[in-house]
Amino acid sequence: MARTVAAFKVDHFQFLDPDGKLIDEQKSPSLARDFDRLIELYRRMVLTRVFDKKAVALQRTGKLGTYASCLGHEAAHVAIGSAMQPEDCFAPMYREYGVQFCRGVKMTDVLLYWGGDERGSNYAGAPHDFAWSVPIATQCLHAAGAALAYKLRGEKRVAVSVVGDGGSSKGDFLEAINAGSAWKLPLILVIVNNQWAISVPRSKQNSAATLAQKGIAGGLPSIQVDGNDLIACLWAMEKAIAAARDGHGSFVIEMMTYRISDHTTADDARRYRPNDEVEEAWRKEPIARLRSYLTDQGAWDEEREQALLEDCARKVQKAADDYIDTVTNDPQPVTAMFDYMFAELPHDLAEQRACAERFPEDGGHH
């Protein structure tokens, strides 16, 4: 005779529809009426998008290396960064600029990193955060390690990491879930589900109804939110972080969004992605949605929008100028690639560094 030993569900939360209308005003969080805060968050989202466009332009003109765009992810990323406290820890992958700007990372730091300058990872504005992680999902274990340290020390701090839909299939992500569950760590794992793992669509990655349920399999409370709804993303992050900080363990949040851009500037998504799917994503994108809501509520107008765009353009151009000035007038030696990983270099890397020292600074060869 069979009996049910456990049953689970994954709840989906959305407060703003794609047209910027509140779905149910009575059930919306107080944030929906905090227009001062929403405007501040909207400004951060717009700044992130203006920066992103400039970074792509720098790469296209040969002034930046391969760059990973965050176009379409602005609500998810700004919500994550805004929900965290300065003493918390963020372990990014490689496109969470909106989180990092909220955390104090400078735009020039991001450009230096993608320009191949090691100083870009030494950001003073977010002293507790990890540098970018290009190996897929390894950052989840970094965050789990930080969370374990906080628990052992009795510190009321939280570690947060982000992984994509593709990265959620990696063992590192599942191991981080297991660690968070077994040790009840103050850890928040966010799956920013942008529907594409480079050229592999979500439909071919996993047949499960949600990716959030991977957290449930590991014993963690897990939900799904509309990742283009800033209000839903921030509401979910604040609740999860507050609970984790109070000792209630780890959480998984799946944020449903779309990667409107190419995977990186080395990719051409037109080769594998239908145009009508991208056009539909533009209809649901997060910045227009929040702008429509604020405008309908009388909290925003076209004059303020133009002033914001001009201000963002000035700030981004200043960051780009500072980046170009640094790499032109104060370039790092080639040996810098060895100098920021180990306190003491392993012998094989020490030998490689000694070899690199013999190369002339103009990049010529002996």
Please give the positions annotated as active site.
Answer: 259, 263, 272
* DSSP assigned state of 22: B
What one-letter code names the amino acid at 299?
A: A
Give dist(CA 291, CA 204) in Å, integer.
34
Residue 354 has φ and ψ, to the nearest 5°, of: -60, -35
Give dist(CA 9, CA 211) in Å, integer.
12
Return the half-sphere exposure (C-beta side, CA atoms, 13 A cut-off) of residue 351: 2
Under 8 Å between Cβ of 64 and 111 = yes
- DSSP character string of 134-147: -STTHHHHHHHHHH
Tokens of 133: 């992680």
Under 8 Å between Cβ of 91 and 140 = yes
Residue 269 has φ and ψ, to the nearest 5°, of: -70, -15
* DSSP assigned state of 104: T
